[in-house]
């Protein structure tokens, strides 16, 4: 049994800093994350179970889950492919404009989401630069479901790129040199040798992008059209309830998004742990 | 980088002016562990007006005039801060501790929320003239050049080929007035026959092309995206939009009958007392009723009560029959309950 | 030695695809923002930017970002070290808890802070009694900004540190290196890029956050108005050019952060070349 296996079984702790890092982490998580969340559940406590159920299963709200989830899934898939491509290009190649491309990656985060929304709506409306090109092709983006997915993809692309990038950068050159020397084609070598290292980061990035899209509001409302049952997103339902001073109702709908997101992220974390163990286990 | 250097170089005076003030406050706040609300270091009294989102320019114009007026009346130098946002988000902030001295809102319900919480006096509506609404407006139409669809009244909006743009009544108070105005019209037209009124409203809501969350979003959809044949908003707002985007391209239509939209103001008694600004807050609201202030308000396309000013601006505001929400629908509480809350009439009318 | 994807054809194809897609998807919006900001000439742009309230908003936004980064940095590194170097019950839960900010809509994030620290909240009412105001002042803005941005550093570090494993540190520790020395000499050099990306993301998000901040800021002009809030107000009030001027500034801040990162990279590579 090697060191690693010993460590994973928890029988020895060679490395220092357990107490300090545990202290900081637990204190921070309790104060900054968990304590405020109790406020959300405090609001829920004002509702009976039946009330809670009727709020979260109301027809229009359910329709909004469908719209949000569907669009977020499409956006996340687009980002998985596009983000992997961008990360690869940024790490592996030298070309003019690389610095600018790298800089562009963070743009969606730095822009307040409302700006992103207004700008995208301007570009993709039938009078906009993109809209004018796409509309004759029969593809209407603004005020449809496609526009929602587009806005989600825009706001969450940095998650994938910036999660994959450091892992790719860290991959030693020997890894693919070895694969290439065995005579595998690029594609096979990429799939067999590189991808196993990237999976955890790629899945995490995509998962985060998906979850972020579920909660997004500002970037989407300007391009969504917000027609009842068709292009209303869940975040809008929460916003509406807040406008009505209905904190409990808002918290109820928000809690659904919270649970779905956390369940998904927990699943990713567990899967990731197993995956990494398998990867390293194979080596050891 | 060069741009950043240029900014610093070009605006070094302004930056020097801004940053020390900012850091002085921050440093003090850091040493105390929190920002202390009472302006201990300010030599002059400061008051805060919490207002709705499209009133930034309006109160930027009003405040210097008020400051001069107060100086003249009381010989005291003061300053007025502004905070703007959606009216109900503003009320929410005050409920949770934003120490605004006065509110100048565009929704009666949002002031009432504060009164119900005890922050504003229960009798606020009778504390000042005209239901504590120093200015008012109504709901009007903005149509494209030469009014191609011939839209003159509410029943033109339910025609099959007309597309309407106004924000979502669920998120915008402005849009609630639009909804109520249309309902009020139909109620009179069909002599109170509920079924016909609801059919009318269903068609009206069905003609909506896009439901933005706020007035500004709806304007963008109508003007910049070219969506719809008519934009419905406050009269003041459609006039501002027309002035902003070209008087030649758009026309304002004030329907012969519409709803009275009040812009309620009130002293947030609890905060004003705490800030030692009760007289100042009261004076601010009273100032809004003076002839000078009323003229300023009329310049921003709001209807006012001062007779001299009304006379001066008589060309600008066509005569129209205005009904109040209370007269047709009862209280605002009832309106919210029967029309706008979850599962109420609006939801039913939009169901498919 | 040839590496994967080095064939000229593949390389050209991938770079081409990345450039075209990014141009359409990311560059075009940026161009549109600058086009709007300068649509009435450079003079109007400067008038909008040099306004006292805009300058104050820029200052506040930058100070909040500068305060946020170290907080998130300490937390992120501590948490990543904890969950990737030790095994203990509840590790996955802890790791998932840090994702709460991603799972909560920003407006709801602002609201929960308000409900806790606001005048009616159970902590807020106590503070109010002692005349301490956190919400609707800069501490409140800092608090929600930290909430929204705290996962980024940890999230960048965890996959990388997991992939790297702890063999190097264990070797150093076995050879008798002290805790901090191990961290500075062994761990930090290995994670510096991920750390840098984490800081960049934290900064970008801290500067651009709107939803959560709008709930707790009170948006008092010249006091608690951040640049994104100021932008929103200008836009609502039909000063679209002014709003886009602010948006251009925010984009500029992101680009400057990246320029800082590029110069760091350049210096590091030069030092390595010298050694």
Q: Domain range spanning residue B171?
A: 137-259+321-350
What is the pTM (predicted TM-score) of this model? 0.84
Residue in C120, C233, C259 closest to B56 by CB: C233
Nearest CB among C21, C29, C254 relative to A123 is that of C29
Q: Which two tokens stand for residue C127?
A: 């503070």
Same domain, B250 and B141: yes
Distance CA B168, CA C117 (A): 31
Rounded distance, CA B203 to CA B127, Å?
Answer: 41
Segments of chain B with pLDDT less than 50: 1-42
CA distances from A5 to A12, A63, A278, C216 (A): 10, 48, 12, 47
When CB atoms are compared, the residue of C128, C218, C221 closest to B93 is C218
Report the pLDDT value the prediction gives residue A202, as an integer from 0 to 100.
Answer: 94
* Chain C residue with the nearest C-alpha to that of A121: C29
Give which of C118, A242, C148 is closest to B342, Cα–Cα. Answer: A242
- Closest residue to A123, CB basis, from C11, C32, C210: C32
Tell me, yes or no, whether B217 and B338 share the same domain. yes
Q: Cα B156 to the chain's mean position, in Å?
A: 26
SS3 category, B139 = strand
CATH of domain C41-274: 1.10.3720.10
- The residue ranges of chain A whose pLDDT is under 50 are 1-12, 282-284
Among candidates C102, C107, C204 on the partner chain, residue whose Cβ is nearest the Cβ of A261:
C102
B251 membership: H or E segment, kind and range: strand B250-253
Using CB atoms within 10 A of its CB, is residue C97 exposed (0-12), middle (13-18) or buried (19+)?
buried
Taking an 8 Å cut-off on Cβ atoms, the answer to whether C170 and A14 are in contact is yes
Residues B250 and B173 in one domain: yes
C-chain CB neighbours of B18 within 8 Å are 52, 55-56, 59
Question: Residues B276, B224: one domain?
Answer: no
* DSSP bridge pairs for B259: B323
Domain ranges of chain C: 7-37, 41-274
Cα–chain-centroid distance for residue C16?
29
pLDDT at site C51? 87
C35 touches A at CB < 8 Å: no
- Take residue A62 and report the two structure tokens written for it: 């359910």
Taking CA–CA distances from A128, the nearest residue in chain C reads C32
ipTM of model:
0.82
- Any idea where the domains of chain A sit in the sequence? 44-283
C-alpha to C-alpha distance for A284 and A2, rounded to whole angstroms: 8
Inter-chain residue contact B85 with C59, CB threshold 8 Å = no
Residues B334 and B241 in one domain: yes
- Is C237 at the interface with chain A, CB within 8 A? no
What per-residue confidence (pLDDT) applies to B286? 95
Contact assignment for B15 to C55 by CB distance below 8 Å: yes
Predicted confidence at residue A7, as pLDDT, reads: 45
Chains that touch C (3 or more CB pairs under 8 A): A, B
Residue C218 phi/psi, 5-degree rounding, is: 80, -15
- Walk along chain C (275 residues) and give the pLDDT tens digit of each residue: 567 877 888 889 999 999 999 998 889 999 999 998 999 989 999 988 888 899 999 999 999 999 999 999 999 999 999 999 888 888 888 888 888 888 888 888 888 898 889 888 888 888 888 888 888 999 999 999 999 999 999 988 988 888 788 888 888 888 888 888 888 888 888 898 889 889 988 998 899 888 889 889 888 888 899 999 998 888 887 788 898 999 899 888 878 877 887 787 778 777 777 66
pLDDT of A10 reads 43
Taking an 8 Å cut-off on Cβ atoms, the answer to whether C219 and B57 are in contact is no
What CA–CA distance (Å, rounded) separates C116 from A42? 10
Q: Which residues of C touch A21 (CB under 8 A)?
A: 78-79, 81-82, 85-86
Based on the fold, state whether residues B120 and B51 are members of the same structural domain.
Answer: yes
Among A residues 117-136, those touching chain B with beta carbons less than 8 Å apart: 118, 121-122, 125-127
CB contact under 8 A, B54 and C132: no
Total number of domains in chain B: 2
Q: Is C97 on the interface with B (CB under 8 A)?
A: no
Distance CA B142, CA B315 (A): 18
With contacts defined as CB-CB under 8 Å, which chain C residues touch B92? 114
B90 and B142 housed in the same domain: no
Homologous superfamily (CATH) of A44-283 is MetI-like (1.10.3720.10)
What pLDDT score does A170 carry? 84
Closest CB to C52 among B18, B26, B84: B18
C171 CB neighbour count, 10 Å cutoff: 14
Mean pLDDT (chain B, rounded): 86
What is d(CA B174, CA B99) in angstroms, rounded to the nearest whole number? 25
> How far is it, in rounded angstroms, from Cα B96 to Cα A263?
32
Distance between CA B155 and CA B181 in Å, rounded? 12
CB within 8 Å: C119 and B14: no
Backbone angles phi, psi at B76, to 5 degrees: -120, 135
Provide the pLDDT for residue B118: 93
Instruction: Judge whether B6 lies within some domain.
Output: no
Q: Is C8 on the interface with A (CB under 8 A)?
A: no
| HEC readout, chain C | CCCCCCCHHHHHHHHHHHHHHHHHHHHHHHHHHHHHHCCCHHHHHHHHHHCHHHHHHHHHHHHHHHHHHHHHHHHHHHHHHHHHHCCCCCHHHHHHHCCHHHHCCHHHHHHHHHHHHCCCCCCHHHHHHCCEECCCCHHHHHHHHHHHHCHHHHHHHHHHHHHHCCHHHHHHHHCCCCHHHHHHHHHHHHHHHHHHHHHHHHHHHHHHCCHHHHHHHCCECCCCCCHHHHHHHHHHCCCHHHHHHHHHHHHHHHHHHHHHHHHHHHHHHHHHHHC
Q: Are B232 and B165 in contact (CB under 8 A)?
A: yes
Q: Residue B352: its pLDDT value, please?
A: 65
């Amino acid at each position: 049994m090697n060191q690693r296996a010993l460590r994973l079984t928890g029988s020895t702790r060679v490395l220092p800093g357990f107490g300090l890092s545990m202290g900081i982490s637990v204190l921070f998580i309790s104060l900054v994350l968990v304590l405020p969340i109790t406020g959300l559940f405090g609001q829920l406590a004002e509702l009976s179970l039946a009330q809670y159920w009727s709020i979260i299963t109301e027809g229009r709200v359910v329709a909004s889950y469908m719209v949000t989830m569907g669009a977020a899934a499409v956006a996340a898939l687009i980002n998985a492919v596009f983000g992997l491509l961008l990360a690869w290009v940024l790490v592996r190649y030298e070309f003019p404009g690389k610095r600018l491309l790298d800089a562009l990656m963070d743009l969606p985060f730095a822009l307040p989401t409302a700006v992103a929304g207004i700008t995208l709506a301007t570009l993709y409306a039938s009078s906009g630069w993109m809209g004018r090109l796409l509309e004759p092709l029969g593809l209407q983006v603004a005020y449809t479901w496609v526009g929602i997915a587009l806005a989600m993809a825009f706001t969450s692309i940095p998650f994938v790129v910036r999660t994959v990038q450091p892992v790719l950068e860290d991959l030693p050159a020997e890894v693919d040199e070895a694969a290439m020397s065995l005579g595998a084609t690029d594609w096979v070598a990429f799939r067999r040798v590189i991808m196993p290292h990237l999976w955890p980061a790629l899945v995490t990035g995509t998962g985060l992008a998906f979850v972020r899209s579920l909660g997004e509001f500002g970037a989407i409302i300007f391009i969504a059209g917000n027609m009842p049952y068709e292009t209303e997103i869940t975040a809008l339902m929460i916003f509406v309830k807040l406008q009505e001073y209905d904190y409990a109702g808002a918290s109820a709908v928000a809690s659904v998004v919270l649970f779905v997101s956390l369940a998904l992220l927990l699943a990713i974390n567990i899967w990731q742990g197993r995956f990494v163990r398998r990867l390293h286990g194979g080596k050891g | 980088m060069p741009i950043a250097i240029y900014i610093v170089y070009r605006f070094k005076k302004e930056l020097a002016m801004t940053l020390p003030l900012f850091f002085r406050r921050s440093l003090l706040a850091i040493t105390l562990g929190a920002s202390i609300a009472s302006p201990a270091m300010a030599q002059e009294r400061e008051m805060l007006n919490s207002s709705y989102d499209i009133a930034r320019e309006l109160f930027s114009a009003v405040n210097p005039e008020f400051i001069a007026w107060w100086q003249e009346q009381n010989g005291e130098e003061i300053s007025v801060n502004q905070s703007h946002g959606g009216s109900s988000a503003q009320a929410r902030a005050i409920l949770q501790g934003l120490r605004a001295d006065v509110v100048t809102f565009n929704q009666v319900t949002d002031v009432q929320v504060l009164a119900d919480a005890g922050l504003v006096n229960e009798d606020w509506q009778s504390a000042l003239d005209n239901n504590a609404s120093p200015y008012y407006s109504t709901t009007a139409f903005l149509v494209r050049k030469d009014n191609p669809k011939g839209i003159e009244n509410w029943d033109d909006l339910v025609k099959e080929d007309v597309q309407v743009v106004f924000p979502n009544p669920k998120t915008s108070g402005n849009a609630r007035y639009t909804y109520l105005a249309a309902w009020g019209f139909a109620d009179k037209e069909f002599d109170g026959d509920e079924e016909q009124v609801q059919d009318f409203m269903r068609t009206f809501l069905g003609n909506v092309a896009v439901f933005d969350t706020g007035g500004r979003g709806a304007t963008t959809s109508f003007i910049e995206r070219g969506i719809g044949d008519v934009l419905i908003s406050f009269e003041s707002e459609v006039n501002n939009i027309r002035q902003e985007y070209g008087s030649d391209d758009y026309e304002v239509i004030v329907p012969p009958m519409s709803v009275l939209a009040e812009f309620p103001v009130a002293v947030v008694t609890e905060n004003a007392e705490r800030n030692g600004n009760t007289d100042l807050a009261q004076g601010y609201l009273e100032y809004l009723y003076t002839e000078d202030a009323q003229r300023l308000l009329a310049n921003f396309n709001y209807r006012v009560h001062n007779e001299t000013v009304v006379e001066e601006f008589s060309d600008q505001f066509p005569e129209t029959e205005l009904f109040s929400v209370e007269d047709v629908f009862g209280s605002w509480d009832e309106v919210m309950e029967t029309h706008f809350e979850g599962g109420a009439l609006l939801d039913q009318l939009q169901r498919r | 030695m040839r590496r994967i994807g080095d064939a000229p054809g593949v390389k050209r194809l991938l770079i081409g695809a990345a450039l075209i897609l990014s141009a359409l998807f990311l560059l075009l919006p940026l161009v549109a923002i600058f086009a709007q900001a300068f649509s009435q000439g450079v003079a109007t742009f400067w008038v909008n930017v040099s306004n006292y309230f805009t300058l104050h908003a820029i200052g506040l936004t930058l100070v909040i970002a500068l305060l946020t980064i170290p907080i998130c940095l300490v937390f992120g590194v501590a948490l990543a070290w904890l969950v990737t170097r030790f095994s203990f019950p509840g590790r996955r839960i802890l790791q998932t808890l840090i994702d709460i900010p991603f799972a909560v809509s920003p407006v709801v994030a602002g609201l929960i802070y308000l409900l806790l620290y606001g005048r009616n909240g159970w902590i807020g009412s106590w503070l109010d009694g002692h005349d301490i105001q956190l919400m609707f002042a800069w501490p409140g803005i800092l608090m929600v900004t930290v909430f929204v941005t705290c996962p980024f550093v940890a999230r960048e570090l965890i996959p990388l540190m997991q992939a790297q494993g702890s063999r190097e540190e264990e070797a150093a520790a076995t050879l008798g290196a002290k805790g901090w020395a191990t961290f500075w000499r062994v761990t930090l050099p290995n994670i510096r890029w991920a750390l840098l990306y984490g800081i960049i993301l934290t900064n970008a998000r801290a500067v651009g956050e709107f939803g959560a901040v709008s709930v707790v800021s009170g948006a008092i002009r010249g006091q608690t108005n951040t640049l994104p809030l100021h932008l929103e107000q200008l836009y609502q009030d039909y000063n679209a050019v002014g709003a886009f001027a602010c948006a251009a500034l925010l984009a500029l801040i992101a680009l400057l952060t990246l320029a800082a990162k590029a110069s760091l990279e350049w210096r590091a590579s030069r030092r390595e070349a010298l050694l």
